[in-house]
Chain A
Amino acid sequence: MTTPKTNTGANRVAGKGRLSPSRTVSFTFDGKRLNAIEGDTLASALLANGIHLAGRSFKYHRPRGILAAGAEEPNALIEISRDNARRQPNVRATVQEVFDGMIAKSQNRFPSLEFDVGAVNDGLGRFFPAGFYYKTFMWPQKAWDKLYEPVIRNAAGLGEAPTEADPDHYANRYEHCEVLVIGGGPAGLAAALTAAQSGKRVMLVDENAEFGGSLLADAESTIDNQPASQWADAAYRTLSSLENVTLLNRTTAFGYYSQNMVTLVQRVTEHMARPDPDLPRERLWQVRAQQVILATGSIERHLVFPDNDRPGIMMASAAQVYLNRYGVIPGSNVAVYTACDSAWQAAFDLKEAGVNIPVIIDLREGVDAALLERATKLGIKVKTGHAVTGTSGRLRVRSIKIEPVNGTGAHEIAVDCLLMSGGWTPSVHLFSQSRGRVAFDEKTGAFLPDIYMDECESIGACNGTFDLGELLVEAQAAAVNAVASCGVKLRKPKAPKVENAPSMSGFHIGAAKGAGPDDFTKAFIDFQNDVTAKDIRLAVREGFHSIEHVKRYTTTGMATDQGKMSNMHGLAIAADTLGKSIPEVGLTTFRAPFTPVTFGALIGHARGELFDVTRRTPMHGWAEENGAVFEDVGNWKRAWYYPQTGEDMAAAVARECKTTREIAGIFDASTLGKIEVVGPDAVKFMNMMYTNPWDKLAVGRCRYGIMCREDGFIYDDGVVARLAEDRFHVTTTTGGAPRVLNMMEDYLQTEFPDWKVWLTSTSEQWAVIAVNGPKAREIIEPLVEGIDLANEAKPHMSVSHGKICGVETRLMRISFTGETGFEINVPADYGRSVWEAIWERGSKLGMCAYGTETMHVLRAEKGYIIVGQDTDGTVSPKDAGVAWAVGKKKTDFVGIKGMQRPDLIGPNRRELVGLKTLDPKVVLEEGAQIVDNPNHPVPMPMIGHVTSSYWSENLGHSIALALVENGHGRTGEKIFIPMPDETIAAEICSPIFFDPEGGRING
């Protein structure tokens, strides 16, 4: 019994190509089910099925076919999906491998690819000249929002992004190697083979599924007596067997950064039908290479002639690839139009595979005799010194018009496919990204690497070396050089024996016959952006003389393909119009990425939970279990308030505030920054970093410290405990912890490197449990060992070392509430257990747990500032009313000079005051502006703003802190806060609203 043979397309040629015809897969294109062979690209599968029409162009909606066979493809941009969320627009059909079940859809057409209403733009082409957008949507200005912008947005862009979240994941890998070879064609393979002999780490990357590059489509050449593709396969096998070689296929080197940092994107699952969900879709490699060998090859240029964009017109080398790698012919009646020898070989290959070649048209008069002879032998008609000056056919080319380059007399030839070649453009993209400078080479008509700025070398076609034999030798030499720079001497390897390598010479850049002077013909130079030869000429005539301006005005060389095929043509036409030479006009800058990269690949692991670090305190779990609502403070999650059943935030905060003042409250202060300052010069250092004097602070005592920047403005604050003569326990604000340590280290290392003092962050060494309130002492006393908590023995602003619940503690008597307060520092892993023990006892006595909101209210009732809320980087200690913390007798500290600047000591400073609204129930908005006269015409002079504002349950009225011009001298005066719907009147008062005598703190 025989199984019925799956039809993988009428254009398959038996016995040709590298695929195994028995392994078939099926996919859909615009809803139509088609079969392919495993390893096919979408482009080869479509061509096998006789489909050239792959999309509609961007601007004119012209039918477009598959033009190329590689990453440079400007036309065949397809939407590929597995499911709704895994839907990727603008995938190049020439790169995407077909997998079983793949759904492919054409883009930029409505309602269908064959009939597209947008194609009306094509007929209106004369109304869409270069710079159309800049010229047209100028006025009236009102039309922008309602008309122009929505219309342009709808028309702009290709493809549609999925609305679902991306369900795939993406990996990242940092890698190092001695030699990174980019490009796995003949040059890259030869370089890797040689470099690998050094035993050093060699990486070889190629964007294709298979290594071999041009060799895989080369049916003529032999290397060391093997057919080229077999030599490539053997080289690949050798390299894969070596432990020091990393081979990455389906991997594009897209960015070249300073000091040989090269970024690669590896497409891990894009070709798989049912990938393992653990596999990343793509992996970003960030490779640091000692030496980089660039073997990035070259890209074949099309020819610029009228209507050169019809489906069925494609690159000669692409046809060779489809035939020799995929066993697919692009048509049955295929003409060839070229200015380069290599396209002749494509004609010969196709002819030998049974395709009719009606004619080879060469722009050049003189063509190599061997080519002519072989054409004659194969029975192919040749027209040298001729040009194609027109084509016909709506959805597929039907005929071409040819005429002599120097003369007249056109005639038409029927074809179903036209191959073209304008020669080869070396891929200097990555070299250029490495800041290397290119120079124009008249002989090859190409920009070639000239001045190198990094440790790299270009070899092969990207270096202008097209001859197979020559480039293999060049590759070997480059590898020997590269490993020599890594300290390994290799003997010069034997040059491979190369026979029958096809000639690559001959080229044409710019418009060919028929593509001008300007008329209504469309001779495309940039297929993706629908830029024609006449667009470039128009731009130059309108005054855009720099190639960078021409690019932006006409959009040539922009979009996803970045002008891989069109740049040289655009440049040549601009140069021609300007009457300058190509090197005089210069090249636009190549930038990363070489080909489009997904955001997913760039983001890597940094999404969801791993987007950023979430820091939790040791007591976080308890707070969660006890219903805390959290707020983000920097990377920390902090308990904001603890609502009980039925309570909203206001009710919870009011209860927490009242309970803490009347009984006691427990608060997690673990996130405070802590720095241990140790060494004989510790006090000297503290004197320098803080405005306060520290010499007289006794061991065992604490002091509130203010840190300024050199400009004299407050930078941070916190309580500092002196643990020993040479040891301080410094606390900082939660958000300020890293920058305070940085600033301290900076001064220590750059200004005072001879001072004997060391800084260690202990922020996370200590969990900090604050217990505040009249019953605070009673609650913790039974748990504490070795510390006398009596008021006389342990006064406000003191620190003791002892034990709580059997573990070591640095117990401070300090208060940020104005109540008797203790901050219990215990080693972090004990934090939760000690907290629970205090809770166990305290809750029986009526203690509550409170969060950061209550902490804010209680401190505001006492007029204690929060750096970053009541200060904003322009507030001096004097402005903030804490001038008492600045040592009057000190001769130096960071900020001392800044504080003496005239504008800091002059009048009209904004100073921190309290505000009481005349209506005690009104709570001001933080950030609201303050004015003296609300009846002043707008704009009113603003004299300050509200920095903190709360409802105070303890006082029965609202309270606020504000920065007000000359505020300290204006107590009792009325000011106004204009809001959108009312103007609120308030009175300036002392910022200390509660217990101004401060008796409670010492209770």
Chain B
Amino acid sequence: MVEAATRLYPLTGREFAGNGVNMRPLDGEHERISLRADDVAVAGLGAAIGLELPTKPGGVALADGLSALWLGPDEWLIMAEKGAGIEDKLNSVTTGLYSVVSINHRNMAILVYGANAVNALNGGCPRDLSLEAFPAGTCSRTIIGKAEVVLWRTDTHSFHVECWRSFSDYVWKFLVEAARCA
């Protein structure tokens, strides 16, 4: 019997707290799907996973342990806390045309929270992150320094920063530096 492979996350063990900013990598058995779909398929795909896919820019829909982030007119990032077979559920839809691609390992997430979190993020993110322009429950594909990220404000002072695996070390170090002098 072959020994099963172990999952090793890129930032395991890192932690930061200081200057009103806290950060930790979000390791875990998440599932992540890049979902692309035409208009006809949207309702059915949402129903298959038990939520309504957001259709407004920056919209986020939440259901039991599941989130759907609007990234473009035909593009969503679907994340599930625990496996939950999201890929199969989406692929079972028969109405409309769509593409389901697992990007579970392509992306990784860093949680950034604390009273000064916005200032740390604005050290490298050119978006207006005021609560008026970017309220809790909003997401956007944007940049931090030289790295592309998906930024999701989960709460007034909490952000979920989603980036590609090999960029995570840079994004982490950038945010630590930005937090220190925010």
Chain A positions within 8 Å of B, measured between CB atoms, are 169, 171-176, 201, 278-280, 283, 286, 288, 605-606, 609-610, 612-618, 636, 676, 678-680, 756, 758, 760-767, 782-783, 785, 804-807, 826-830, 832-834, 837
Point out the residues of chain B lying under 8 angstroms from A614, CB to CB. 169-170
Quick one: closest B residue to A766, CB to CB?
A: B105
Counting chain B CB atoms within 10 Å of each CB, which of A176, A286, A761, A829 scores highest? A829
Given A176-B128, A764-B166; A828-B106 close (CB under 8 Å): yes
Given A807-B5, A833-B8; A765-B103 close (CB under 8 Å): yes
Given A174-B127, A829-B9; A764-B173 close (CB under 8 Å): no
Point out the residues of chain A lying under 8 angstroms from B5, CB to CB. 804-807, 826, 830, 833-834, 837
Task: Report the separation of the CA atoms of residues A280 and B97 in the bound assembly, to the nearest whole angstrom.
Answer: 52
B1-52 interface (Cβ within 8 A of A): 2-10, 19, 34, 36, 38
Contact B105 A765 (CB under 8 A): yes
Contact A171 B181 (CB under 8 A): yes
Q: What's the nearest-Cβ distance from chain A to residue B96, in Å?
A: 10
Point out the residues of chain A lying under 8 angstroms from B38, CB to CB. 756
Point out the residues of chain A lying under 8 angstroms from B36, CB to CB. 678, 758, 760
Quick one: closest A residue to B108, CB to CB?
A: A829
Point out the residues of chain A lying under 8 angstroms from B83, CB to CB. none
Point out the residues of chain B lying under 8 angstroms from A758, CB to CB. 36, 74, 98-99
Contact A760 B119 (CB under 8 A): no
Given A174-B125, A610-B174; A837-B166 close (CB under 8 Å): no
Task: Report the separation of the CA atoms of residues A762 and B107 in the bound assembly, to the nearest whole angstrom.
Answer: 10
Point out the residues of chain B lying under 8 angstroms from A176, CB to CB. 128, 130, 133
Given A678-B99, A782-B2, A805-B3; A610-B104 close (CB under 8 Å): no
Point out the residues of chain A lying under 8 angstroms from B130, CB to CB. 176, 201
Select B166's contact among A172, A609, A612, A616, beta carbons within 8 Å: A616
Task: Report the separation of the CA atoms of residues A606 and B167 in the bound assembly, to the nearest whole angstrom.
Answer: 15
Point out the residues of chain A lying under 8 angstroms from B124, CB to CB. 172, 174, 605
Select B165's contact among A676, A760, A828, A830, beta carbons within 8 Å: A828
Point out the residues of chain A lying under 8 angstroms from B105, CB to CB. 764-767, 827-830
Q: What's the nearest-Cβ distance from chain B to residue A11, in Å?
A: 39
Q: What's the nearest-Cβ distance from chain B to residue A810, in Å?
A: 11
Proximity string of chain B (161-181) to chain A, C-beta cutoff 8 Å, 1 when within and 0 when not: 000111101100110011011
Point out the residues of chain B lying under 8 angstroms from A171, CB to CB. 123, 178, 181-182
Task: Report the separation of the CA atoms of residues A286 and B124 in the bound assembly, to the nearest whole angstrom.
Answer: 11
Q: What's the nearest-Cβ distance from chain A to residue B98, in Å?
A: 8
Contact A605 B166 (CB under 8 A): no
Quick one: closest A residue to B27, CB to CB?
A: A829
Point out the residues of chain B lying under 8 angstroms from A618, CB to CB. 8, 10, 165
Contact A610 B97 (CB under 8 A): no
Point out the residues of chain B lying under 8 angstroms from A679, CB to CB. 97, 99
Known contacts A174-B124, A830-B6; 6 further A-B pairs (Cβ under 8 A): A174-B127, A613-B147, A614-B170, A758-B99, A765-B102, A806-B2
Select B126's contact among A286, A605, A804, beta carbons within 8 Å: A286
Task: Report the separation of the CA atoms of residues A636 and B165 in the bound assembly, to the nearest whole angstrom.
Answer: 12
Contact B97 A169 (CB under 8 A): no
Task: Report the separation of the CA atoms of residues A618 and B108 in the bound assembly, to the nearest whole angstrom.
Answer: 13
Select A278's contact among B6, B98, B180, beta carbons within 8 Å: B180
The 10 closest A-B pairs by CB, nearest first: A806-B4, A615-B166, A678-B99, A758-B36, A758-B99, A833-B5, A828-B105, A176-B128, A805-B5, A765-B106
Contact B103 A762 (CB under 8 A): yes
Q: Does B145 contact A (CB under 8 A)?
A: yes
Q: Does B101 contact A (CB under 8 A)?
A: yes
Q: What's the nearest-Cβ distance from chain B to residue A926, in Å?
A: 28
Q: Does B89 contact A (CB under 8 A)?
A: no
Point out the residues of chain A lying under 8 angstroms from B56, CB to CB. none
Q: What's the nearest-Cβ distance from chain A to residue B36, in Å?
A: 4
Point out the residues of chain A lying under 8 angstroms from B97, CB to CB. 679-680, 756
Q: Does B146 contact A (CB under 8 A)?
A: yes
Query: What is the count of residue pairs linking A and B with beta-carbon distances less than 8 angstroms?
Result: 145
Q: What's the nearest-Cβ distance from chain B to residue A622, in Å?
A: 10
Point out the residues of chain B lying under 8 angstroms from A828, CB to CB. 105-106, 165
Point out the residues of chain A lying under 8 angstroms from B55, CB to CB. none
Q: Does B154 contact A (CB under 8 A)?
A: no
Point out the residues of chain B lying under 8 angstroms from A826, CB to CB. 5
Contact A609 B173 (CB under 8 A): yes
Point out the residues of chain B lying under 8 angstroms from A832, CB to CB. 8
Proximity string of chain B (109-139) to chain A, C-beta cutoff 8 Å, 1 when within and 0 when not: 0000000000100111111101001000000
Chain B positions within 8 Å of A, measured between CB atoms, are 2-10, 19, 34, 36, 38, 74, 97-107, 119, 122-128, 130, 133, 145-147, 164-167, 169-170, 173-174, 177-178, 180-182
Contact B104 A765 (CB under 8 A): yes
Task: Report the separation of the CA atoms of residues A615 and B166 in the bound assembly, to the nearest whole angstrom.
Answer: 5
Task: Report the separation of the CA atoms of residues A763 and B104 in the bound assembly, to the nearest whole angstrom.
Answer: 12
Contact A610 B99 (CB under 8 A): no
Q: What's the nearest-Cβ distance from chain A to residue B42, in Å?
A: 14
Select B106's contact among A762, A804, A806, A830, beta carbons within 8 Å: A762
Point out the residues of chain B lying under 8 angstroms from A609, CB to CB. 170, 173
Given A171-B178, A605-B145, A828-B106; A617-B126 close (CB under 8 Å): no
Task: Report the separation of the CA atoms of residues A526 and B122 in the bound assembly, to the nearest whole angstrom.
Answer: 41
Task: Report the separation of the CA atoms of residues A263 and B99 in the bound assembly, to the nearest whole angstrom.
Answer: 43
Task: Report the separation of the CA atoms of residues A992 and B46 in the bound assembly, to the nearest whole angstrom.
Answer: 54
Quick one: closest A residue to B133, CB to CB?
A: A176
Counting chain B CB atoms within 10 Å of each CB, which of A617, A765, A827 scores highest? A765
Point out the residues of chain B lying under 8 angstroms from A766, CB to CB. 105
Point out the residues of chain A lying under 8 angstroms from B74, CB to CB. 758
**Could you name 8 residue pairs across A and B whose Cβ atoms are closer than 8 Å?**
A172-B178, A176-B130, A283-B181, A606-B146, A762-B101, A826-B5, A827-B7, A828-B106
Given A174-B127, A614-B169; A605-B177 close (CB under 8 Å): yes
Select A280's contact among B101, B167, B173, B181, beta carbons within 8 Å: B181
Q: What's the nearest-Cβ distance from chain B to residue A636, in Å?
A: 8
Point out the residues of chain B lying under 8 angstroms from A617, CB to CB. 166
Contact B122 A830 (CB under 8 A): no
Select B178's contact among A175, A605, A827, A833, beta carbons within 8 Å: A605
Task: Report the separation of the CA atoms of residues A225 and B41 in the bound assembly, to the nearest whole angstrom.
Answer: 71
Task: Report the separation of the CA atoms of residues A169 and B178 in the bound assembly, to the nearest whole angstrom.
Answer: 11
Quick one: closest A residue to B123, CB to CB?
A: A172
Point out the residues of chain B lying under 8 angstroms from A804, CB to CB. 5
Point out the residues of chain A lying under 8 angstroms from B6, CB to CB. 830, 833
Task: Report the separation of the CA atoms of residues A635 and B123 in the bound assembly, to the nearest whole angstrom.
Answer: 22
Point out the residues of chain A lying under 8 angstroms from B125, CB to CB. 174
Point out the residues of chain A lying under 8 angstroms from B7, CB to CB. 827, 829-830, 833
Point out the residues of chain A lying under 8 angstroms from B173, CB to CB. 609-610
Counting chain A CB atoms within 10 Å of each CB, which of B10, B125, B165, B166 scores highest? B166
Quick one: closest B residue to A763, CB to CB?
A: B106
Task: Report the separation of the CA atoms of residues A175 and B128 in the bound assembly, to the nearest whole angstrom.
Answer: 7
Contact B3 A678 (CB under 8 A): no
Contact A827 B101 (CB under 8 A): no
Select B167's contact among A615, A761, A807, beta carbons within 8 Å: A615
Q: What's the nearest-Cβ distance from chain A to residue B102, in Å?
A: 7
Point out the residues of chain B lying under 8 angstroms from A278, CB to CB. 19, 180-181
Quick one: closest A residue to B165, CB to CB?
A: A764
Select A837's contact among B2, B100, B127, B128, beta carbons within 8 Å: B2
Quick one: closest A residue to B96, CB to CB?
A: A756
Contact B123 A605 (CB under 8 A): yes
Task: Report the separation of the CA atoms of residues A552 and B88 in the bound assembly, to the nearest whole angstrom.
Answer: 70
Point out the residues of chain A lying under 8 angstroms from B123, CB to CB. 171-174, 605
Select A783's contact among B2, B19, B127, B178, beta carbons within 8 Å: B2
Point out the residues of chain B lying under 8 angstroms from A605, CB to CB. 123-124, 145, 174, 177-178
Contact A827 B146 (CB under 8 A): no
Task: Report the separation of the CA atoms of residues A173 and B164 in the bound assembly, to the nearest whole angstrom.
Answer: 23
Quick one: closest A residue to B164, CB to CB?
A: A764
Q: What's the nearest-Cβ distance from chain B to residue A617, in Å?
A: 7
Q: What's the nearest-Cβ distance from chain A to residue B115, in Å?
A: 14
Select A829's contact among B8, B164, B180, beta carbons within 8 Å: B8
